[in-house]
Amino acid sequence: MGMQPVGAESLSHRLTTFPQWSHPSHLQRAVGDLYYPHWFAGTWDVQTQLMDMVAPLSPQIVTPGFESNRRYLNHPLEFRVRFLPPTPPSRNLMVPGMLQFRNDRPTSPLVADRRFNSLNLTRAYFQFASSINQLVKDGELTIQIDPMNPNRQITFWGSGRQLISTVTARRTEQPDTHHFLTCELSQQEFRNLGQNYINQVETTTAYSYFGLSDVHQPVFTADQVTAIYLSPQDPQFFIARDRPVALYRYQLHFYSLPKEGVEASIAHGS
């Protein structure tokens, strides 16, 4: 399952070459949402940990925030995510390769609850940095998903700060029923009091499904690499060209919710 452009290396092979990346992955234009296998269905407790970080062009080029991100290295963060059938159902869901089967019966594709997931992940990072409490109290941390484009979202931090993220290209691979790989390229635009900073972010993730029912063991895990590329508008673009200027590697574990956690999520819609 999934389509690999002719001549493109597999996503699994690309992950094995970290951090020796010299260009973005070969992707296709993002149309519609990113669809996941049936074993993603539901709400999960996630533990993510930054395992490695590299600035390949340092000291000549170091992205803003790279050094401050070292605070997250080897520190696990916990948050909650969920994956649901699309609502409202799209007439364009059943495109070639999208129909899935479980126990010989077709199932609907699943999508990430992008607003829910992004908000929880952002809170987890800010809580670790001890700066979220005031933002939540003032109601200044909000995330909006473009109702006409699930690939575009805006994060508001208050004081005029915004992050506009738009997925422009992607690719998926599913070599078997227990493995699923994704790669998405996003344009990120940071706006702060009239100052803009634009870059390209490539996120490559390999999910492995184990199907364990023990709440103390992950049901599935993920190996993830985020690569940052300069935009053509950046003054240093012609130095970096297609080479990444920052690389981050993460490990993610997805756990089933305890019974009381499931009931609370249903009751509060969280």
Question: Three-state SS across 30-46?
Answer: CCCCCCECHHHCEEEEE
- Contact call for residues 186 and 168 (beta carbons, < 8 A): yes
pTM: 0.85
Domain assignment present for residue 1? The answer is no
- pLDDT band for position 131 (50/70/90)? low
Domain assignment present for residue 238? The answer is yes
Domain assignment present for residue 27? The answer is no
Query: What's the structural domain count of the chain?
Result: 1
Domain assignment present for residue 81? The answer is yes
Query: Is the pLDDT at 41 greater than 80, yes or no?
Result: yes
Average pLDDT, the chain: 85
Tell me the mean pLDDT in the region 165-183: 97
Query: Is the pLDDT at 183 greater than 70, yes or no?
Result: yes
Query: Is the pLDDT at 2 greater than 70, yes or no?
Result: no
Distance of alpha carbon 243 from alpha carbon 241, whole angstroms: 6
pLDDT number for residue 216: 83
Domain assignment present for residue 213? The answer is yes
pLDDT number for residue 81: 98
By C-alpha distance, which of 65, 73, 53 is closest to 199?
Answer: 65
Domain assignment present for residue 30? The answer is no
Range of the domain at 132: 36-88+98-268
Domain assignment present for residue 51? The answer is yes
By C-alpha distance, which of 249, 141, 233, 240 is closest to 187?
Answer: 233
Tokens (6 digits) for 139: 């109601």
Which has the minimum average pLDDT: 3-17, 110-124, 190-204?
A: 3-17
Domain assignment present for residue 19? The answer is no
